[in-house]
Structure 1
Amino acid sequence: MQIQTGDLTDPEVIAFLAAHVAQLRSMGPPESTHALDLAGLRAPGVRFYTAYDGGELVGCAALKDLDGTHVELKSMRTAPHRTREGIAERLLTHVLEAARAGGHTRASLETGSYAFFHPAHALYRRHGFEECAPFGSYRADPLSVFMTLKL
C-alpha cells in the first residue's frame, strides 16, 4: 500500500470524498455531522492523504491544524469493500507520524457515537487516544465522541 499527499482535483478522489460525506450526513442531523467537504479539505492548514493498493484508492485521512501544536484528525475513510484489512491502521499511523514530524504535540478527533463507529473507536484506543471534552469549536453532543492523544 502507498500513502501519499492526496490530489483534491482528481475525479476519483473527489467521488471517494463525496461518498464519504454523503454516508456520514445520512447518519445524523446536520448539526451533528462534522465531515469536511471538498472545500474544507482544500482550506489552508489542512493536509490530506490518500492510500492506494495496486492502483486502487482504498482510503484517505486528513490533518487540520488547530493552533500550531494541536491537530485534528479528519476525513478518515476506508473503501467500504476493503474494511478490516488494516488500511485505517496504516493511514492513522502515517498521519500521526506526519503530525509528530510537523512539531505537533496533540492530536484530537470527533467521530460519531453510534454502532457504525465502534470499530473506529477501538482503533483510536489501540493507538492511545482517550475520550475527552469537546475541543476547538465543538460543543457537547450525544451523537459525538471526542478523543485526544498526546503525541
Structure 2
Amino acid sequence: MHIKDRKVWRARAEALAKQKKLIRVQVGQLGITPAFLRATSDVLQKHGLVRVKLGEGCGLDRANAADVLERYLDAVCVHQIGFTITLYRRQGLPRPSNTQPLNEAQREQAAAEAAAAEAEAAAAAAEAAERRAAKKRAGQQKPQQRPPEFSVL
C-alpha cells in the first residue's frame, strides 16, 4: 500500500476513533490465538478497520505483533503507537485461509464444553437460590410469635 493511502486510512481511523465508532480488540495474556485471529478477521471483513491493543501480559512487542497480524489477517498496518496497532483490510475480501472456521470435530468438542459449562452454571445458580431461600426461612417468624421488641407488652 502506498504511503498516501496509508495516511488516508489512518486519518479515517482517527476520525472513527473520535466518534467512538472504531472497533477495538485486545490481545490478552494468551497472545495471538486462533480464536483472536478469527474474531479480528470477522471485524475486518465487516468494518475494514480495527484497532488492536496489546495487553500487558501478552508478551509481544508492537513491531512483531504488527507483522504477525498483517501476515495472518491479510491486512495492512496503517498506524502504530504505544501498545496499539491499527489495521486495514478492504471490505468484502474473503476470509484468509489460515483463519478458517473450526472443523466438525472441533465444533462438536466446543459445543460439548459449552453444554457442560452451562449445566455447571445452572447447578451453581440452583444451589445459590436454595441457600437464599434457607436464609430467608431462618429469619422468618413462626405463626403467633411476636418480634422480641414487642414481647414486653
Same fold? TM cut 0.5: no
Structure number with higher strand proportion = 1
Larger radius of gyration: 2
TM-score (norm 1): 0.31
Structure number with higher helix proportion = 2
